[in-house]
Structure 1
Amino acid sequence: MSFTPDSSSLQLPLADLAGKISGDVLLPGTAAYAAAATPWNVAVAVSPVAVVAVADATDVVTAVRFADAHDLDVIVQSTGHGALAHTRPSLLVHTGRLDEVTIDPATRRARVGAGVRWQRVLDAAAEHGLGTLAGSSPHVGVVGYLTGGGLSPVARTFGFGSDLVTAFDVVTGDGAPRRATATENAALFWALRGGKGALGVVTAVEFELLDVDRIYGGCLYFDGADADRVLSAWKTWSAGLPEQASTSIAIMRLPAMPAVPPPLAGRCTVAVRYAWVGDPADGERAIDPIRGLAPAIFGGLGVMPFTALGMINADPVDPMPVHERSVLLRELPDAAVRTLLALIGPAADCPQVFVELRLLGGALAREPRESSAVCHREAAYSLLTIGIAAPPIVEATAGHAAAVMDAVQPWSGGISAPNFGSTTDPVLVALKYDMAALARLATLTASYDPRARMAASHPVRAAAGLVQSRARS
């Protein structure tokens, strides 16, 4: 029997669902619902008919099949990062209680539940002298990061986070529990590494750990007045770095608030982030050309435990309304640097909180042992803008970000990556994959989710249709 998806017609079925699962069904109007449904980016509107706070994989199967029976889309959330706006009636599967963390030091592998954040895995691996390929913000969830590729502060040395994944446990959009590895459901394994949540609800992931317990690195902050000199020098210096080095640079305009260090608050600054895997003395020599460019107003460099990886970027952890756009650059010539400085430099009317360039290449450019849906490995840099998406500046933030993306078009071709610039716009989604990968992803979503229950699959299918239509015209 099918129900019109509104709160009155679903009241009894939801009560029945609550009796069938070990977790909880949270309804609108309750504090628990609000806490579970609100994403990290509070500018994204998410209003499911209910939240299913699952306790195990069996609960996920029950929830997905319930959504299918009652004509609801399935959206998934754990930490709330990477949320997408969704308007169709939906059921939110909240995986925060799937909190397994198992470290096998003999095989140097980890098994992690879908509700786990990276810092917990970093700490658990460190107990055995090991590291894990976490991102710049260890506050984010493991699964969302890995299904989008995963770009770590040490990525040039070790590649994408998804390249180290060995297995997924997932409930696909058809409500079936499956295990995906290089030899079992291999096509699904390909798609889950880069396809984000388009194929199903991941309940656990297994991946290789790193034989590293400390690195040399940190962040140097310079005054915005030195942006021209620092960015130009960073561009030349970064192009010659070996794979032991990973780096990014950000022009920042942080507001004056308690969480912001006073030397950085209410002014334009330039942050050079740096990580070196190997002999710290070699890492110190490699960064010397940047260290002497101008007086540092904050920050520092040194040997740090791998568990402190998040200190390099010091990303914010508190929820906020943000507007995010991203693009990959195939090259970064002097003309691109001048173009960017005109839009984001200290003299520009720039509403972005920060604009980041991240050096790619190295291990990122190599194909992994098992191929995946992560595309555009030839890109040389990523460019990311993040601004406040709240009145009265939301329109200015979005307009300026679009202008930045348009301005670098000659050096990018518009290509981007799954984990940056979350969007449901099929035009932008199409730029995250090459044509073959996008077509394969769309085909696999239709195979594993024939009734299109996974909300994240809709933009992928729409993007594939758009690309096919363009190819025919």
Structure 2
Amino acid sequence: MDVTPLTGQVFEPGQDGYAEEVAGFQLAVASRPAVVVGAETTDDVVAAVKFAAAHDLPVSVQATGHGLTAGTEGLLISTRRMTGVEIDAEAGTARVEAGVRWGAVLEAAAKHGLAPLSGSSPDVGVVGYTLSGGFGLMARKYGRAADHVRAIDVVTADGSLLHAEPGSDLFWALRGGRDGFGVVTALEFDLVPVTDLYGGGLYFDTADIPAVLRAWRTWSVAAPDTLTTSLALIPYPDLPMLPEPLRGKHIAHVRVAYLGDGGDELVAPLRAAAPALMDTLKRMPFSESGSIAAEPPNPHGYHGTNATVTQLNNAMLDAIVEHAGPGADVDTVLIVDRLGGALARTPEVPGVGWDSAAEFVVRALSVVGDDGIDPVRHAHAKLFDALAPWTSGRLLPFVYGEHDPAEVARSVYSAADLRKLRELKPGFGS
């Protein structure tokens, strides 16, 4: 293919650097685009989009962080080199380019006594997280990151660079609609005046999982909006790099992020639920908040899905233990997030909606082994079929590896939002 008009670094199959350029965090989805543009500037993105239009090539984007590997054909725009971060301390805002990860924003904002509405891992990319409706460690206090976006720079399909702001359909669609409306090159969003929090985790042994699930459920329902919390069931391998108390055990990990005083008193009911294998709760700078979930940074092949639920009764907790606990068919990292608080309130500038009436979201994630993805899908189906009587929807940020875009769209968007998205972009989600 003649790629001479393109700017930025260009890679084609077989060339040095091509394999590294298409590799993402998700290794279970193969990617082999015809050409990759390693964009360093917005002008590179504009040139790549115009080139694709002139050659009738589909365009996909691979940013950074934990996003799905994109682009099985056509032209792939890699934005990981676009790493500019600007903090306006007086306005309390940040402007970031498309390849920025949350860790860079955490560090830059902390110098001004500010914090972003980042997620559980500092390695996650800002743009993908925000535009998919991601919510993080202060979500019950401040809502989703998408609710605090002020402006979006996006290159549309004809190569035009637009500056989308509140009031435009494009601005509405991008914040929660995520895919298909252009290549986002920069975001501007609010920061919040937070410097530290009480956070960390409590780790409980296998035999205590049922009791801890029930204690956390009761405790989290009564939680103030200043507390964001989740509970994870994790099958830890027996590896020397892991903390000795956790090696080779299937444990319950209660995660706590609390923007208030008296943290020890707040978590006392959890500490009384069972003896903890480890207790890492403490006051910490918000810039160190990635240590709360302590998620692995290494790319791997995985499949995952989720369900929002209206309650978390004992039958549901029993199903979680049966289908995602120590005796499950497939090793599964199972995470239950407490929603509510600001997540249940209508934001000042609404974007594409989500299941704001849900009380919890249940997430399942499993590594895809040599026997492929089907055993994982089958195992996850058992869990979510058991939860179906109380299920109200799904959340886009936690759908990984699905092969039916139309089914994903129907399950994550309301009928009204999906209809509007398809009016703005015919064929959206199909």
Q: Same fold by TM (over 0.5)?
A: yes
Paired letter, 1:229: A
Distance in structure 2 (CA, Å) of the matches to 1:137 and 1:116: 13
Q: 2:75 aligns with which of 85, 91, 95?
A: 91
Q: Report which stretch shifted further, 193-202 or 335-344.
A: 335-344
Of residues 14, 28, 31 in structure 1, which corresponds to 2:13?
A: 28
After superposing the two structures, state which structure 1 stretch, 283-292 or 212-221, moved more.
Answer: 283-292
- The match for 2:45 is 60
Partner of 2:138: 154
Report the TM-score, using the length of structure 2 for normalisation: 0.96
Letter in 2 for 1:296: A
Q: Would you say 1:321 and 2:312 are equivalent positions?
A: no
Q: Would the aligned equivalents of 1:228 and 1:345 in 2 still touch at CA under 8 Å?
A: no
Aligned residues: percent identity? 40
8 A contact 2:65–2:123 mirrored in 1: no
Find out whether 1:388 has 2:367 as its counterpart.
yes
Q: Could you tell me which residue of structure 2 aligns to residue 102 of structure 1?
A: 86
Match of 1:359 in 2: 338
Q: Deviations for 1:190-222, whole angstroms, at most 9, x for unmatched residues?
A: 011001122111000000001010000101100
Distance 1:58 1:424, change over 3 A: farther
1:119 counterpart residue number: 103
- Contact 1:110/1:209, CA 8 A, preserved across alignment: yes
Please give the per-residue CA displacement for 1:143-201, whole angstroms capped at 9, x wherever unaligned.
Answer: 00000112102211110011111000001223211011114xx1111011001122111
Alignment of 1:163-182 (within 5 A): 163-182=147-166
The verdict on how the C-alpha distance between 1:257 and 1:17 changes in structure 2, with shifts beyond 3 A counting, is: farther
Q: Does 1:461 align with 2:429?
A: yes
The alignment covers a number of residue pairs equal to 428
Q: Give the drift of 1:342.
A: 2.0
> Where do 1:38-437 residues align within 5 Å?
38-79=23-64, 81-83=66-68, 87=72, 89-183=73-167, 186-279=168-261, 281=262, 283-346=263-326, 348-392=327-371, 394-413=373-392, 415-422=393-400, 423-425=402-404, 426-437=406-417
What is the letter of the counterpart of residue 49 of structure 2?
V
Q: Secondary structure at the match of 2:75?
A: strand
- Contact kept, 8 Å, 2:307 with 2:395, in 1: the verdict is yes
TM-score (norm 1): 0.87
- Contact 2:60 2:70 (8 Å CA) reproduced: no
Q: In structure 2, how many angstroms separate the alpha carbons of the residues matched to 1:340 and 1:443?
A: 39
Preserved CA contact (<8 Å) 1:171 1:178: yes
Q: Distance in 1 between matches of 2:257 and 2:65?
A: 27
Deviation at 1:265, TM superposition (A): 2.3
Contact 2:144 2:343 (8 Å CA) reproduced: yes
Distance in 2, Cα, partners of 1:461 & 1:124: 36
1:41–1:80 CA contact under 8 A, matched in 2: no
Conserved 8 A contact 2:149-2:188: yes
Q: Determine if contact 2:59/2:71 at 8 Å carries over to the other structure.
A: no
**SS of aligned partner of 1:352:** coil
AA aligned to 1:44 is V
- Taking the aligned partners of 1:394 and 1:298, their CA distance within structure 2 comes to 33
Change (3 A) 1:178 1:259: farther
Could you give the per-residue CA deviations for residues 237-264 of structure 1, whole angstroms, max 9, x where no partner exists?
1111110111100111022335432322
- Give, in whole Å, the separation in 2 of the partners of 1:117 and 1:240: 33
Q: Secondary structure at the match of 1:429?
A: helix
- Displacement of 1:86 after TM fit? 5.2
1:294-318 deviation line (CA, Å, top 9, x unaligned): 1111242010100011111111111
Greater CA drift, 233-242 or 393-402 = 393-402
